[in-house]
Structure 1
Amino acid sequence: MKKLFGVMGDPIAHSMSPAMHNDLFSLYDIDAVYLPFHVMQGDLETAVKGLKAIGASGFNVTIPHKTEIMSFLDKIDPLAEAIGAVNTVKNENGHLIGYNTDGPGFVKGLESVIADLESRSALIIGAGGAARAIYFSLAQAGIHSIDLYNRTQLKAEELISSCPYKVQSKLLDRETAERDLAAYQLIIQTTSIGMFPDIDSTPLSMANINCDALVSDIIYNPSQTKLLKEASGKGAMIQNGIEMFVFQGALAFEKWTGIFPDTNRMRANVLRHLGG
């Protein structure tokens, strides 16, 4: 019997997940299909009950449902519980178990290009949902330190204080972050600043960056934001949001099938759909 997987969100037509996962099912000869489900706010509980009733094997959850979904699950992984968001659900014998593969996927993407994550000092720009997932996952992975810059300091303070994993952290204002940028081997941009069509904006100047740093921007449209272009111009290594998207998908696929998939193939598939 063909297994059913999917992704729920609003909007959902733009999602590249169906193409990515259906290609993997074909690659590994798995009799399954992955479908997009347009679920509006207010309809999430009904949608979850419906997928559970028909025996869906698992599904992803995207904006705006990543927090609300937690109320309708039977069990939640401790990291996802701490982050306060679920993006991957697995059906285990009728029990829906929620995971967050966004943060761990980001870490996996970093580990594909750097081998010494534990020794790095990181600066995260932003304090929203993506920043929280990345901050908690890096802390869990044992990174040396993570400092935060966010326009709203109270939100950043709450993020730091709520992390259940031990890590050195301090909150920076913009002037200090830009002045001391060379102290960081890893700089992570998690806001929407620089995303199409606002491509001429940047949250921080990269003028003082360490040329040995890795700069990651979770945006992938455009493929190189102004921040990444500035960092690259200073000699730094750069990474866009495609890596996080690919590796979160790979970890979800592994949860469902027990197979960690070919991420090079996944990346090529995503780039094809982005027209790059």
Structure 2
Amino acid sequence: MEFYGLFGETLSHSLSPELHKKIYQITGIDAAYKTFAFPKTHLKQAVESIRLLSLHGVNVTIPYKEKIIPYLDALDPFAEKIGAVNTVQNKNGKLIGYNTDYAGFGHIFTRRNWNLKDKSAVILGTGGAAKIVEAYLINQRIKQIVIVSRSPEKYTNTEKTTYTNYTNTSALSGDYLINTTPVGMFPNIESAPVNDAIIQQFSTLIDLIYNPQETKLLSLGHQHNKHTANGLDMLVGQAVRAVEIWENLSIEETIIDELIEIFQKERVDINEN
């Protein structure tokens, strides 16, 4: 049996153990998965424990997707280019960082046939997830991106991407508003990263949070008849791609669709009880 896990700071809300258990059941993989929550000061020791505990691999979530990089032995070229890691493989004691969030994020658009060419988007946040979102949007030929940061002066504007701060959000509008911050995540479910007036200035709202399934941001979007999507597609997609790396196999796209449907129903059942 192989052992895997999830590194993060606060993981009580995570669906990853349940999700990976289901992936292993469907694919017949003999593996186990658990969460490893720890403070930022223990990141180096946590990475060292991957070898010590003979973990075959780990996923990485907030706030360590960028911070973990200096402690790894090597990076996949794409992860190196993006500057964010969400998957680590322990290959005979060598720790290699990958990023499967990109593929996961793409499922949000491909499953809904949403088009990005010549569109505009506003991204809330500048962490590892925001880097993935920006890269995907640019590769899908989006016209313009505005990224909202608490410290926009730290970043350099490009031909397609400009940075601004949260005090200027009232002037923003566009086709897509994408939240990559943890604002609105369980248990702080009554919070939203922007107010109702700003939400009305966009056609489609995407929140990478998956717990709760309908965040305050998405709830406000529904009230104004906006198209919405949460982060469940991304969660399932990135998890399946991580398993493919760890186990050196290919998993059919239909399994991703099956898993999304399973967890959509399970989350609805939980919310109704």
Report TM bin, short chain: 0.7 to 0.9
Report the counterpart of residue 266 of structure 1 in structure 2.
259
Equivalent residue for 2:214, pick from 198, 210, 224: 224
Q: Give the share of equivalent positions with the same residue, in percent.
A: 32
Report the counterpart of residue 97 of structure 1 in structure 2.
96
CA distance in 2, matches of 1:246, 1:11: 19
CA distance in 1, matches of 2:170, 2:63: 32
* SS of structure 2 residue aligned to 1:6: strand
Give the 5 Å matches for 1:6-85. Answer: 6-53=5-52, 55-85=54-84
Aligned pairs, how many? 264
Equivalent residue for 1:241, pick from 231, 237, 241: 231
* SS of structure 2 residue aligned to 1:90: strand
**1:273 shift after superposition:** 5.8
- Taking structure 2 as the reference length, what is the TM-score of the superposition? 0.79
Which residue type is aligned with residue 109 of structure 2?
Answer: L
CA distance in 2, matches of 1:201, 1:40: 25
1:62–1:190 distance in 2 versus 1, CA, 3 Å? closer
Unaligned runs of 5+ in 2: none
**1:266 shift after superposition:** 2.8
1:52–1:160 distance in 2 versus 1, CA, 3 Å? farther
CA distance in 1, matches of 2:204, 2:251: 25
Report the counterpart of residue 164 of structure 1 in structure 2.
none
**1:53 shift after superposition:** 4.8
- Taking structure 1 as the reference length, what is the TM-score of the superposition? 0.78
CA offsets per residue over residues 176-225 of structure 1, 9 Å max, x none? 754552xx222212234444536154514246435xx3210123344323
Of residues 172-181 and 40-49 in structure 1, the stretch that sits farther from structure 2 once superposed is 172-181
1:47–1:192 distance in 2 versus 1, CA, 3 Å? closer
CA offsets per residue over residues 206-251 of structure 1, 9 Å max, x none? 46435xx321012334432333233323332101222322222222
CA distance in 1, matches of 2:230, 2:2: 32
1:38–1:116 distance in 2 versus 1, CA, 3 Å? closer
1:273–1:159 distance in 2 versus 1, CA, 3 Å? farther
* SS of structure 1 residue aligned to 2:68: helix
- Contact kept in structure 2, 1:103 and 1:137, CA below 8 Å: yes
Report the counterpart of residue 194 of structure 2 in structure 1.
203
